[in-house]
Amino acid sequence: MNPAQFDGSKADRLDEDHPASHPPVLAGQGAATIVPRPDHNISRANISRNALKVLYRLREGGFQAFLVGGSVRDLLLGVTPKDFDIATDAHPDQVAELFRNCRLIGRRFRLAHVRFGREIIEVATFRAGGEEAHDDRVHDDAGRILRDNVYGSIDEDVWRRDFTSNALYYNIADFSIWDFTGGFQDVHDRVLRLIGDPETRYREDPVRMLRAVRFAAKLGFSIAPETAAPIARLAPLLVEVPPARLFDEILKLFHGGHGLRVFELLGQYGLFGQLFPHTEASLAGPHGESLEKLIRLALANTDARVAEELPVTPTFLLAVLLWGPIRERAALLLEEGGSDVDALAGGTTEVVLEQLERVSIPRRFSGPLREMLALQPRFSQRRGVRAMRLLENKRFRAAYDFLVLRAECGEVDPDLVEWWTEVQEMDAETRRKEMGLRRGGGKPADGRRRRSRRRSRAD
Ligand code: ATP
Ligand code: MG
């Protein structure tokens, strides 16, 4: 290993005063390789001030304090970390005593959240043992911990982490990096490698398969062959993961700024079909090609929005991912009779209900999803009060964006989209004329949504 290869990206004045270094005292599963400050590029200038405050205060309190997880990895890569997590040998109560702005969260394993305005620094006490260790705590009647196998030392904490690149510890005592698993070299080689036996680690927590894809897409890492090999075979284990957790994970996967790459990798590793079985079936069906195009276009779009820090919504993402099966289901319902609006609303309800078995979809997203998809057929109506009402509908914008996407895939006449684009930019009077409405005829004069007599007649 040549740690010096990380050097030289950013000069770091702050770190020029070499602090007294504290030799690590290690026990347990193997010692760490210590990468001293001159041999890596992590500079305090790139660490959040608040995280530094927490690290220093813990250290002054006589505790060990490390930056951990994604932030160390990202700093090594020259990427701005999303957040800064800290690990310490201080117990949660001890952390709470050091910080007034601190809240303890979690029941079995308590974490400290230290708040500075909008930034929250998460401080976790080193965890002991494997997954089962959580339940080994013995409490007295008052809920106080009598025997505690939950918390441990750093050399226990490291082995429960997922990937070697996520298991590096930046020590505030001397600005060195502690590496127990070869993560430093793996970050340099841009390889994602599970710690321990991959099959065992995926069985412990199948979400790690999704995390592998997420990090590979986000960081542009390759997945080490032994880490990648079991995924396709073990993908069905995702069925056992609670749907609510999968919903959170799906947002991280598709709203992380690399959604298109994630989609490709999920497909490649046989994971997509575990999350969205009906969509997978549609992709293999007669409209598969145009559906794939729609998904790819939408995800590329979403990635661009994330890059520009524009808002993205789960409702739109779900519309995109579920459109294939919803459209097929709506076609079946239409054959049974009723309007196309009802068919789409009904199709959405059915597909969402089935999807809930895998991935939960909170009502605050499924309701708007149904509304926005049911508006799709209404765009063909360009004249009259109905057209005006569509324009005023609270889901108009989302529905219109989706229409644009469908047109780009050849599902909708481009002239229709052009008309709806133009009509939005017209002044009120021109728009009314364009829709064939008389002056002031589109909306009650006071602007409220009430059914006037004239309105009902126009219906
Ligand atoms: P991101 O940049 O997306 O926040 P991250 O690496 O910080 O990436 P988190 O999900 O925030 O990822 O988790 C923080 C750390 O906790 C990880 O780096 C990893 O060490 C550990 N971790 C999180 N989830 C798991 C898991 N399912 N199994 C094992 N370790 C995990
Ligand atoms: Mg993180």
Question: How far apart are the C-alpha atoms of 169 and 179, rounded to whole Å?
Answer: 7
**CA of 167 relative to ligand 1 center, distance in Å:** 9
Check pLDDT > 70 for residue 337.
yes
Listed by start position, the domains of the chain span 3-186, 190-255
**Residue 446 is a catalytic residue:** no
83 is annotated as an active-site residue: yes
Residue 440: predicted pLDDT: 58
Model pLDDT for residues 98-152, shown as the tens digit of each residue: 999 999 998 878 999 999 999 999 999 999 875 544 444 455 565 554 445 688 8
- Cα(166) to centroid of ligand 2, in Å? 9
Give the residue, out of 126, 134, 166, with the most ligand 1 atoms within 8 A of its beta carbon, to mutate for a pocket test.
166
- The CATH class of the 3-186 domain is alpha beta
CA 181, CA 29: separation in Å to the nearest integer? 10
Report the distance separating Cα 265 and Cα 117, nearest Å. 37
Taking the CA of 209 as reference, the closest ligand is 1
337: left (phi over 0), alpha (psi -120 to 50) or beta: left
Among the bound ligands, name the one nearest to the CA of residue 73.
1
User: What band does 224 get if pLDDT is binned at 50, 70 and 90?
Assistant: very high
Compute the distance between CA of residue 330 and CA of residue 399 in angstroms, rounded to an integer: 17
Whether the per-residue pLDDT at 84 is higher than 70: the answer is yes
pLDDT band at 456 (very low <50, low <70, confident <90, very high): very low
Which segment of 71-85, 131-145, 152-166, 280-294 scores lowest on mean pLDDT?
131-145
Using CB distances shorter than 6 Å, the residues near ligand 1 are 69-70, 82, 85, 161-162, 166-167, 205, 207-208
User: Cα angle vertex 113, ends 94, 259, to 5°?
Assistant: 145
| ∠ Cα 4 160 96 (to 5°) | 95
CA distances 199 to 268, 270, 274, 372, Å, are: 18, 16, 18, 42
The amino acid that residue 200 corresponds to is T
- Check if 155 is active-site: no
pLDDT at 130: 54
Chain centroid to Cα 376, Å, comes to: 28
Q: Which of 12, 15, 39, 83 is catalytic?
A: 83
Residue 447 confidence (pLDDT): 45
In the chain, count H helices and then E strands: 22, 12
How close is the Cα of 162 to the center of ligand 1, in Å?
A: 7
Encoding tokens for residue 16?
Answer: 């020029």
